[in-house]
Structure 1
């Protein structure tokens, strides 16, 4: 089983994803307030250590993974999804390839 990163790192990661979606005024959003309330509510003290806190941390880690994966998916979707008809050369360039040229210079290649 993989170890969980620290709760502060998870909280910062979630807030980073919220900021990426909402812009600079993300602190006034309901999502920001909800995340901060949940992290404050599930904070571990010296007197309290229970399975519920670990479950909340795991749920937060999973939510962070969902947010970052969704953002990465949208970036890739915008890059590679159809933007109309493209030529073969353009599509090869999108994936980092070049088409071969005719050796010998027959005169019809570009």
Structure 2
């Protein structure tokens, strides 16, 4: 029974990633039809337990990992890449640091 719930979890995860990538009309895509067809074809029944189902489950988990990793990579790429050279203050704030403030100049003159 845990294999069935695990397969359902993977299927829902893949559909969630497709929805994030394709938008609200993801159900009209060929990818959605292919994924649903593969999950229906490799469904475990009471009479059958075969190695092909385990291989299909592993392939589905790998595909889910690929989709989520690609989405996370694009988020990080858009966040940190391509902004050009910034000021020292921007570079420091990017890594969580602040530059010391000098309100009256350098501090040693009067």
TM-score of the superposed pair, with normalisation by structure 2 = 0.87
Structure 2: any 5+ residue segments left out of the alignment? none
Alpha-carbon distance between aligned partners in 2 of 1:30 and 1:96, rounded to the nearest angstrom: 43
- Of 76-85 and 15-24, the range deviating more from structure 2: 76-85
Structure 1 unaligned regions, length at least 5: none
Shift of 1:100: 2.5
Aligned to 1:27: 27
| Aligned residues: CA RMSD | 1.8
Distance 1:93 1:14 in 2: 36
Greater helix fraction, Structure 1 or Structure 2: 2
Distance 1:12 1:97 in 2: 40
2:105 alignment partner, one of 62, 87, 107? 107
Q: Which residue number in structure 1 is paired with residue 90 of structure 2?
A: 90
Helix, strand or coil at the partner of 1:48:
coil
Residue matched to 1:12? 12
Task: Name the CA distance, whole Å, in 1 between partners of 2:79 and 2:92.
Answer: 13
TM-score, L = length of structure 1: 0.87
How much does 1:107 deviate?
Answer: 1.4
